[in-house]
Structure formats: structure tokens, C-alpha cells
Chain A
């Protein structure tokens, strides 16, 4: 009997493409023989927009990159400008930045693992992480009024200090996190169907991970110990004691586990940061008009999704001459076409979800 491959257009309207991602996939029965990813449905030209905005004006635009990790995006951008201008940031602001960046990491990973397990068909498993994330969003909105796009960081510090009730609430949340993660492990991690669906599926080898330039949890699941916080410490990350989880096999299960353990490590970092949190101002001495000297700078930080880098060329005017963003989701997505070959449709969805992309960042 003659059989024929069918071509299925997954997305841009599809429940599991995490936004407006489109994957043209070739199927032999249930098995994917290849696929092409089509990007750009959410492209807003952020890099070009930056050229006609002043340096502080671009901070809210970074919120719209990876909209599940706006705090971290803010941080990466303001630190780049600070590096370019050589601005000193007050101690208190540095500590608060760490607290917010790590909270954001937990929030982002919560969505990451939640939607991953949901794409495996366990709808309930998405609600628990979202409830935990909600508590982080409460902490954020208490501080800066935003729940998704915060615009909280400033060049030279933060827009304002934390409110009085923030620290007790944060402490409460950290205690709650321990039981929350344990509960989630019980609900999902040990499940036989979950293990069968994830173990050995969509393997990214160490070589592949490095040659595709993956970063973040995806590269650490493949046995590469690369975390910008440890490799090139930025801010005050060299003061904290934490582990970087590394797994060896590079399958979807390992990518899930790296995220789960990273959340525990983030809790550890936040506890240390609260303990040492000094008093003082949260905004350093910054000139009224931000006019960096002519020159160029690249700075990258460990975002929840991977290494987020900003490259800025300044011509000495109040607006950047050129701004480029190294967007981790975009880079991580590159490996997808290679690793889906030979897997079932259901696995393709699981592999895509395990890479944890956000389309705002992919399309820029």
C-alpha cells in the first residue's frame, strides 16, 4: 500500500504553541519526519524602536520581551547602561534587585513547568504553579503596581523602595514555597505516565547544546554547567552561596527537573539576600539627562529562560545608536527542528514546551 506524508500546520492558532509560534510539521502517520519553524508573528522591531527612544524610555519596552520575566529583562538592560556609564548602584538596591530577579525566576519557572505538564495532558498540573505564581505577582504589585509589566528598575537603582509589609509577606511566601514544591513533586514528578512521556524524549546532547548556543535550564539539562551567575557574576551574585543544578541526559524530563531544582536554589538566594539586606537609598547618583559616552558595551545576565544579553552602541547622544538583544528563547528555539525528528506528534508538543519559549522574546 502506498503511504503518503501529511503536512500539518501547527499554529499560529494552536492551543499548545505558547503564543503565536508556527511549526510546519511533516508527519508519517503519527511520527514527525521533520519540521520548519516560522517566526515573526509578534515582531515589533524593539531593537529599531530603541534607536528613537532615550535610554530610560526603553526600560518599559524590555518588559515586553519575555513578558513572564519582566523584572529580569529590566535588570539586564539597566545593568548594561550602568556598565556603559560606570554608574554605582546603592547596596540596598543591589540586594533588592537580586530578590526581585530570583522571585521572577521562580514565577517564570512556575509557568514553564506548569504549561509543560499541561501540554502532556494533565490540566490540573497547571493550576497549582499558577496559584504559587500568583503570590509572587501579589508581592510585585505591592511594590510597583504591575502584575506583568513592571518597569521597576531604573538606571542607577530602583524606582522606589519596597513597602513595609513586603518583607513579612516575602518570608511567608518562602516558607510556603517549600511545601508547594514538595506537593508538586508528589503530584507530577513520580507519576508513571509522566515519566514514560518525558524520560528519553527529545534528547539534546552536550555537543548539540553547545553548538546551538543554548543557555539557561536547557543547556544545564544537557550536562553543561553554564550559569552566568556563576560564570561571569554580575551585580552582587558572587556574595551568595547557591548550587547550579546540572543534569546529564538532556531529555525533557531533565529540563523539567532543572527548573524544579532552580526554584529551590532561588529560594535559598532570596533567604540570604533578606538576611543581609542593608538600609539606605535605592537610587544612586545619576545625571538628570542620561548621556553615555561614545562607545559600545555588551552585558548579559542569567534570565529564567537563559542568557539575556544587551549590546549597546552609543554615539554620545541621549539615544542609543544601535541596540541589539541576545534573546535566549530565540536562540534556544533553534534546536527544535533538529530534535523533533522521529518523535510522535504528542512528543513534539512536549519538546516544544520543555524548551520553555516565550514568543515576545522569540520575535523581539
Chain B
């Protein structure tokens, strides 16, 4: 069992010893390992996106009483491949009056924060690319960068729908970051550390979803808004803004936004798993498999929400964020503080 449990850690160690055995210097070995980790993360991310596009469409079909994609390959399994080929071969249109540089840069930049954030996600015991001691702080810092590409895309397209979408994206993502950070703060207060591995380790007995149920709820809501998914998909707002910030994007540029959306979905689910659902802890099965299961459940939950609720209006969204979620998360921090204090002084 422990062989399976440490499978990926063993592989990494093996590669490292092989490289050292080849007589490479420490710097080169470390560099090679970083590239290897990056490749691993990218691999996981892109595979996840490819699979999730199909899964999402199948789940949507299931919820809407229709079969979903079922023509390409068995069970429609090659649908995403066909879609990708279509997107790759599409004409790449840049609107005549667009700000070309910004327009082309935005879809590339939208992926960067997500990839950076994956660096501190513990996929299993010891399976963390860089276990920095300010892990969760780093995570929040890089993921808040994701707002800028949306504004860039909305502004540079020189389209009124895009501009409205971009404005909405900024307003929404900035507002919902506050309750999201506050909800994670509750967990950090209990653990007393910002390190991701320490947070997971602290949940070996009891998951934080039981100690911090309110924080978990706030996190799920804020995270949905952070990755712009329904019912908070107002930057895209199909029925109002045609496609919002994505209106002018075609082919692979559009596909990159799409990829980022799913990568983000995986990321917020992974964070929820790490912070609230005990990370890779679980009986019998290997840790990374538990992590996979828990993340999948979270992803399914997000998809379920998307295909059930109507879209929230932009001013309701702001009211809900600032007048309800922020005070609630502050109250949660206050109560957590009292709890932690009592636990430490009185000892229960």
C-alpha cells in the first residue's frame, strides 16, 4: 500500500538520483526537477480541462434530460478532441480597432496565475511542488492577479459588450476576494500556520469543514464567483452580453480562456479539498487518490450549481458580497478567535 501511496514521490526521487548519478551539478538537477514539476502540473491541468469539458457537457445533459455529446467516439469521449481540432484550425480574427498587443496578451496571461497557484497544492503526501511556509498567502496573492487579464481582454477588444463584461469581471472578482480570504483565515487561525502541508497535516483527525462550516459555505460561494461560473457568470452573461469579455475572441485564443476557466475550476476545488476536506487524508486508498476523489466531488458540486441556478444580477451580486458575505466571514473570524483562545487557555 505504501508503495502506491508514495508512487509519485518515489518517481521524483528516482529521477533526482538518476540525474545526480549522471554527474550534473546541484543547480542543474534542481532546475530539471522544477521543469519536471511544471510539466506535471501542466499535464494534470490540461488533461483535467479536456476531461472536464466532456464531463460538464455530460452532466449538463443529464440534468437537462438529454444525452449530451454522443457522436464522436464511444460515449462521446472524443468530442473534446474534435472540438480542439476545430478550434486549432479556426481563423484567428483580431478586430480591426482592437489594441492588438493587449488583445493577444490577455488569453496567455489568464493562464499564468492558475499555473502559479498549482505550485503549492499538495496533491498527496509529499506531492507538493514547493512547500513554501506562506503557502496559502502565496495562493491568494497569485490568484488575485487573474482579474487583470479579464480587464485587458474586455478593454482591448474595443467592443461594448466586452467592455461591460470586463468591468463586471473586475467588480465581481475584487469584491468576492475579500470574503474568500476571510473564510480561509478561519482555517489558518486554527492551524496557526500558512504552510499548505501543515494545514493538511492538522486535518488528520478532523476535517475543517466540521470546525468551520460557515467558512466552507462562504468559500464555496466566493470561489464560484472568483472563477466566474454560474450563477455568478455575469462577466460572460450570455443572455445579456452575448459572450461578455470573450465576444471578440476566436480559435485558440478563445480556447485558452476556456482552458483557464476549467483549470480555475480544478484549482478552487483543490483548494477547498486542501483547506476544508482534509486534503489527501483518507483510509485504505492512496492519498493522491483521495485527493482526486474529493476534488472531483467539489467539481461536480460546482457544475450542479451552474446548471441549476439563474444568473445573479450585478447589483444583487455586490450587495450579497459586501453586505452579507463580508460581515458573515468577519463574524466567523471573531467566533473562531474566541474558540481558539478558549481552547488554548482553558483547554477544551
* Residue contacts A-B, CB under 8 angstroms, 6 given: A8-B164, A121-B231, A121-B233, A128-B64, A196-B313, A346-B311
Q: How far is the CB of A83 from chain B (nearest CB, A)?
A: 42
Residues in B lying within 8 Å of A, measured CB to CB: 60, 63-66, 160-161, 163-164, 167-168, 230-231, 233-234, 237-242, 307-316
Q: How far is the CB of B192 from chain A (nearest CB, A)?
A: 37
Contacts of A57 in B (CB 8 A): none
Q: How far is the CB of A333 from chain B (nearest CB, A)?
A: 18
Contacts of B60 in A (CB 8 A): 123-124
A87 at the interface (CB under 8 A from B): no
Please state if A345 and B164 are interface contacts (CB–CB under 8 Å): yes
A45 at the interface (CB under 8 A from B): no
Please state if B239 and A121 are interface contacts (CB–CB under 8 Å): yes
A95-147 residues at the B interface, CB under 8 angstroms:
117-125, 127-128, 131
A14 at the interface (CB under 8 A from B): yes
Q: How far is the CB of A264 from chain B (nearest CB, A)?
A: 22
Contacts of B238 in A (CB 8 A): 15, 121
Contacts of A347 in B (CB 8 A): 313
The residue that A197 contacts in the complex, of B160, B161, B237, B310, with Cβ under 8 A, is B310
Please state if B310 and A125 are interface contacts (CB–CB under 8 Å): yes
How many angstroms from the CA of A170 to the CA of B230 in the assembled complex? 38
Select the residue from A29, A121, A124, A187 with max chain B CB neighbours within 10 A: A121
Number of A-B contacts (CB under 8 A): 88
Q: How far is the CB of B331 from chain A (nearest CB, A)?
A: 21
Please state if A197 and B313 are interface contacts (CB–CB under 8 Å): yes
Contacts of B308 in A (CB 8 A): 122, 124, 187
A349 at the interface (CB under 8 A from B): yes
Q: How far is the CB of B176 from chain A (nearest CB, A)?
A: 16
A191 at the interface (CB under 8 A from B): yes
Main secondary structure of the interface of A (DSSP, over half): helix
Please state if A122 and B309 are interface contacts (CB–CB under 8 Å): yes
Contacts of B168 in A (CB 8 A): 30
A16 at the interface (CB under 8 A from B): yes
Please state if B164 and A124 are interface contacts (CB–CB under 8 Å): no
Please state if A117 and B310 are interface contacts (CB–CB under 8 Å): yes
Please state if B233 and A124 are interface contacts (CB–CB under 8 Å): no
Contacts of A326 in B (CB 8 A): none
A210 at the interface (CB under 8 A from B): no
The 10 closest A-B pairs by CB, nearest first: A121-B311, A122-B310, A127-B64, A120-B310, A16-B239, A119-B239, A121-B310, A346-B240, A193-B310, A124-B307
Select the residue from A16, A123, A197, A347 with max chain B CB neighbours within 10 A: A123
Please state if B310 and A127 are interface contacts (CB–CB under 8 Å): no
A344 at the interface (CB under 8 A from B): yes
How many angstroms from the CA of A6 to the CA of B311 in the assembled complex? 24
Contacts of B234 in A (CB 8 A): 346
Please state if B164 and A30 are interface contacts (CB–CB under 8 Å): yes
Contacts of B311 in A (CB 8 A): 120-122, 193, 197, 346
Contacts of A188 in B (CB 8 A): 310
A242 at the interface (CB under 8 A from B): no
Contacts of B231 in A (CB 8 A): 121, 193
How many angstroms from the CA of A115 to the CA of B105 in the assembled complex? 36
Please state if A196 and B309 are interface contacts (CB–CB under 8 Å): no
Known: A15-B242, A128-B64. 19 other contacts (CB 8 A): A8-B164, A29-B167, A30-B314, A120-B310, A121-B230, A121-B233, A121-B238, A121-B309, A122-B308, A122-B310, A122-B311, A123-B60, A123-B307, A127-B65, A191-B310, A193-B311, A344-B313, A344-B315, A349-B239
A173 at the interface (CB under 8 A from B): no
Please state if A191 and B313 are interface contacts (CB–CB under 8 Å): no
Contacts of A16 in B (CB 8 A): 239-240
**With A30-B164, A123-B307 in contact, is A193–B239 under 8 Å at CB?**
no
How many angstroms from the CA of A124 to the CA of B63 in the assembled complex? 7
Contacts of B66 in A (CB 8 A): 127
A194 at the interface (CB under 8 A from B): yes
The residue that A344 contacts in the complex, of B160, B167, B239, B314, with Cβ under 8 A, is B314
Q: How far is the CB of A118 from chain B (nearest CB, A)?
A: 7
How many angstroms from the CA of A344 to the CA of B164 in the assembled complex? 12
Instruction: Encode contact with B along A326-364: 1 for CB under 8 Å, 0 otherwise.
Output: 000000000000000000111111000000000000000
How many angstroms from the CA of A128 to the CA of B234 in the assembled complex? 24
How many angstroms from the CA of A14 to the CA of B237 in the assembled complex? 12
Please state if A124 and B240 are interface contacts (CB–CB under 8 Å): no
A1-38 residues at the B interface, CB under 8 angstroms:
6, 8, 14-16, 27, 29-30
**With A8-B160, A346-B314 in contact, is A14–B230 under 8 Å at CB?**
no
Q: How far is the CB of B301 from chain A (nearest CB, A)?
A: 16
**With A15-B242, A345-B164 in contact, is A193–B64 under 8 Å at CB?**
no
For A194, give the chain B residue with the smallest CB separation: B310
